[in-house]
Amino acid sequence: MPGLFTSFQVKDLRCKNRVVMPPMCMYSADEEGHANDWHFIHYGTRAIGGVGLIIVEATAVESRGRISAKDLGIWSDDQIEGLRRITETVHANGGKIALQLAHAGRKCAIETERIISPSAIRFNEDYQEPNEMSKEEIRDVIHAFRLAAKRAKKAGFDAVEIHGAHGYLINQFLSPLTNQRTDEYGGNLKNRTRFLQEVIEAVQESWEPEKPVFLRVSAEEYHPDGYHPEDLIEVIDLVKLLGIDLIHVSSGGVVPAYIVAYPGYQLVFADQIRKATGVSVIAGGMVVKVEMAEATIRNGRADLVFLGRELLRNPYWTLQAAKQVGVDIPWPIPYERSK
């Protein structure tokens, strides 16, 4: 039976363990979206610390797709070199690395940008009212994802993740709370899934067939009129055959909502999705303790486990966790004296 420190393989991506660092915005890029020393140190340190798979923060496929003015970008060829330096640093220290391709939609907080969304509904009073996307703008954004995947390939990433969670643009199309369109991109669930389908197809056109594509989802919107795990399962069934190899399960973010969060609070969603769709999943949500992470894998509730803020607090969690469960893994040679 697999445990946290067994390897995991999807397509040609082989992770040495099942510990994942999820995308977490660093708000540290320059205003043109370029990576810098902070990113090289941040991601390289987690590779040194033994994390099996690192997923780089939400990286915008358009300038107006950023969450903040300090987000990483992949809308220009001159951003490739900085991203390549991140992948080379992680690979040199024994890790695997994916890039999250993202578009903030109505949750772009940059006042100078003309922000867009499937419908002209603002997130809250602190955000601009977005412009409802025209068909031409929809095509432009889909093409931006296509070009971003091509750049991610040039930068040497092992996988790409399409960000369909947390109330950002793809999630805005999927949710009945934010999509009030009456054309083929709105209305019933199948129509609301159309934008995601076309993004996946565009990414696959530019990506390498032997490398995996992940999809991050919000499985629960915490609103009675929003979608719930059973709706998200239907979405996944509509898109999985387009080439989705791994589902990264999260929740919330599409509308302001009160969420009761507790250790492992999202694991049940991942378990439901894995069983219903047959697609491998990354699970997490306030997973801090080694015992919970290990049990999640051994009980077959998920294929990999993400630790977010815990890996910000302790980049060497993975090395310490292996010792706690009695697994001997190699440490970086300069650190062996502390093992």
DSSP string, 3-41: -TTS-EEETTEEESSSEEEPP-----S-TT----HHHHH
Tokens matching residue 143: 């093409």
User: Can you spell out the DSSP letters for 161-191?
Assistant: EEEE-TTSHHHHHH-TTT----STTSSSHHH
Considering the domain delimited by 8-330, tell me its CATH architecture: Alpha-Beta Barrel (3.20)
Domains of the chain by residue range: 8-330
pLDDT at 256 over 80: yes
Query: Residue 206: its pLDDT value, please?
Result: 98
Split at pLDDT 50, 70, 90, the class of 226 is very high
pLDDT tens readout for residues 156-209: 999 999 999 999 999 999 999 999 999 999 999 999 999 999 999 999 999 999
Q: Are the C-beta atoms of 286 and 265 separated by less than 8 Å? A: yes
Q: Whole-structure pTM over 0.75, yes or no?
A: yes
Average pLDDT along the chain:
97
Span 69-87, pLDDT tens digits: 999 999 999 999 999 999 9
pLDDT tens digit sequence for 143-159: 999 999 999 999 999 99
